[in-house]
Structure 1
Amino acid sequence: MRIMAAAASASPSAATGMFSELNNGIAHFYDTSSGVWENIWGEHMHHGYYDPGLPRRAAFTVDHVKAQVRMIEESLKWAGIPDEAESRPKKIIDVGCGIGGSSRHLARKYGAEVVGITLSPHQAQRATSITSAAGLSSKVRFQVADALNQPFPDNHFDFIWSMESGEHMPDKEKFMAELVRVTKPGGRILIVTWCHRELVEGENSLTPSEEKLLKKVCDAYYLPAWCPSSKYVNLAHRMGLEDVRSDDWTENITLFWPAVILSAFTLRGVVGLVKSGWTTIKGALAMSYMVKGYNSGLIKFALITARKPIQGS
């Protein structure tokens, strides 16, 4: 949890070194764990969307793959992404694409050209292979790239999709600036990410016990310091974006982590964890921390969307 604080006080070269080390850790984590996840859960590496109020026992019976697809659809609906042929997005970037589940879904839904970026060479290769087998190579491509230094020109995409990648970004301001830079005027940005709760009046920080819990999550999943969703909202306003909105969908994802825990400790899950090595096992052991964080109100599942203004408007 001290990565950002240390980086802020370090020299530019030292901060770059810290971020590079973090990126290497993220790449290694997903290189080793993505195969286990795909084998058990399939192509979508993100939370599912569930009706609020379902009992915890529903984790045994709900179709979680359908819930993951529903998460994509509900997020698009919430952000107001048009589905009409004349106004739907034509060029999309999937920032933190995993093995390309969202990229392929978006390409099919909108008939769009989609580029997915990830720090993991394994993910990029696997995403390309699955996409080729699905007959979508003419529409969807993947590459290894850093979301904080994207290899794309300004004003290039009319929809920016970031599903659960923002939590990995060590510099939220630079992350937002890059998203804004590559967005076409009139284009929309959608960030779905893990955040911590908002501080209340009189608080200057989270409690020591909350900081301790988040540090355990950070150590397992290669995350830098967390932030509240209001940080993204404030950055969006500062960068001149329009129609800035946010929401908290924590109550819609409560079944997800119990289901992931159940799947990890099936015979197939245990065999996969053992084969993948300590990095993935450590991530599995940390899943209970995510459940505790959500249940206590510390961890929030946040959505932030905004539109880049049309020049001269």
Structure 2
Amino acid sequence: MTTLLSILGILLALLITAVALYLVTARRYQSSSSVANSYDQWTEDGLLEFYWGEHIHLGHYGSPPRRKAFLQAKADFVHEMVRWGGLEQLPVGTTVLDVGCGIGGSSRILAQDYGFDVTGVTISPQQVQRAQQLTPSGLTATFKVDDAMALSFPDASFDVVWSVEAGPHMPDKDIFARELMRVLKPGGVLVVADWNQRDDRQKPLNFWEKPVMRQLLDQWSHPAFSSIEGFSERLAATGFVEGHVIAADWTAETLPSWLDSIWQGIARPSGLVRFGLSGLIKSTREIPTILLMRLAFGAGLCRFGMFRAVRAQSAEGQEAQARSFSQSTANATLP
């Protein structure tokens, strides 16, 4: 009995130590530099690419969801987003800005399968370098370091602006929305996919949801999540949108990604050989956050939002709406 109690005591102490280390080593958002540093580290060691592939975003498992290979689901997500946004109807040579392009997985599909002329931007120099390495010569996809909060491109530069799961890293969602719309040509299409929090104006976070959301923000360098409703309103408030913002909820279609990502570590044990003990520790460290993500999306605390908007054709109308943008958002508090 004494031996059993000693073993239980040791296990409990190890668990407490592991939880403490998880909390104190959080990658809290501090600035754009902290986001860049996090992605530089994830890219340099190759661990994230090994398990998540070239697409550092969730997969699409169909509606209703069905069993599918993890990496295939990620590639399928790009094609589903193209169709949902109506982009498959656009001609070869359409110019696309991929905001938060990661290591360029989506950009390469857009260039190779649809003939688009794609420019991918990310805050991480290491991601740009890796994206360039993975991109075949002759493919119309280029990459550069840029800040989505202050894009270096002139107004009305692109036919399409595309962004997948970049929004949670943006400290000011109003500026982010405005930059996305600003660089679109009149008549151009914005298509965004993002992680979102439930609209807490309608249903405030309860006692367990607040600490879960805090960890989802702190662990992966997120300053805040918007809501589907809130970000739709922010896009409309830029004054650049023609008609209405179209939004959809793809939580069900993407939900299997979370547990599937953990399964990769079991199904592909060659990673243990390739990355050794340090890789095992790094991988294991991410499991609690992934499980919290699965909990949050499964329980309705988080939602996977899709957004489509068209930039207005009328310059005069844009200017008038843009003037009202600063007035309408000066005192607004959107989730």
The reply to whether TM is greater than 0.5 is yes
Matches within 5 A, 1:29-108: 29-34=38-43, 35-54=46-65, 58=67, 62-85=68-91, 90-108=94-112
Structure 2 CA distance, aligned partners of 1:280 and 1:32? 13
Q: 1:52 to 1:84 in 2, by over 3 A?
A: closer
Structure 2 CA distance, aligned partners of 1:155 and 1:65? 34
Specify the alignment match of 2:137 in structure 1: 135
Of the structure 1 ranges 71-80 and 269-278, higher mean CA displacement relative to structure 2 is found in: 269-278
Q: Is the 8 A contact 1:195 1:226 kept in 2?
A: yes
Structure 2 CA distance, aligned partners of 1:251 and 1:120? 30
> What code does the residue aligned with 1:228 have?
S
* Residue 213 (structure 2) pairs with residue 238 (structure 1): no
Q: SS state of the match for residue 89, structure 2?
A: coil
> What code does the residue aligned with 1:28 have?
N
Summarize deviations over 1:102-125 as a string: whole Å, max 9, x none.
Answer: 111111233222111111111100
Match of 1:297 among 286, 300, 307: 300
Q: State the TM-score, normalized to the length of structure 2.
A: 0.78
Return the offset for 1:277.
9.2
Structure 2 CA distance, aligned partners of 1:233 and 1:268? 43
Return the offset for 1:40.
2.4
Structure 2 CA distance, aligned partners of 1:217 and 1:143? 28
Specify the alignment match of 1:267 in structure 2: 269
Q: SS state of the match for residue 208, structure 1?
A: coil
Of the structure 1 ranges 72-81 and 94-103, higher mean CA displacement relative to structure 2 is found in: 72-81
RMSD across aligned C-alpha pairs, in angstroms? 2.3
Larger Rg: 2
Structure 2 CA distance, aligned partners of 1:278 and 1:155? 46
> What code does the residue aligned with 1:79 have?
G
Q: Percent identity?
A: 32
> What code does the residue aligned with 2:35 have?
I
Residues paired across the two proteins, number? 283
Of the structure 1 ranges 275-284 and 188-197, higher mean CA displacement relative to structure 2 is found in: 275-284
Structure 1 CA distance, aligned partners of 2:33 and 2:212? 23
Matches within 5 A, 1:199-214: 199=200, 201=202, 203=203, 205-214=204-213
Return the offset for 1:149.
0.8
Specify every segment of 5 or more residues in structure 2 that has no aligned partner in the other structure, as ranges. 1-27, 318-335
Return the offset for 1:300.
0.4
Q: State the TM-score, normalized to the length of structure 1.
A: 0.83
Match of 2:118 among 78, 93, 114: 114
Specify the alignment match of 2:182 in structure 1: 181
Q: Is the 8 A contact 2:157 2:183 kept in 1?
A: yes
Specify every segment of 5 or more residues in structure 1 that has no aligned partner in the other structure, as ranges. 1-17
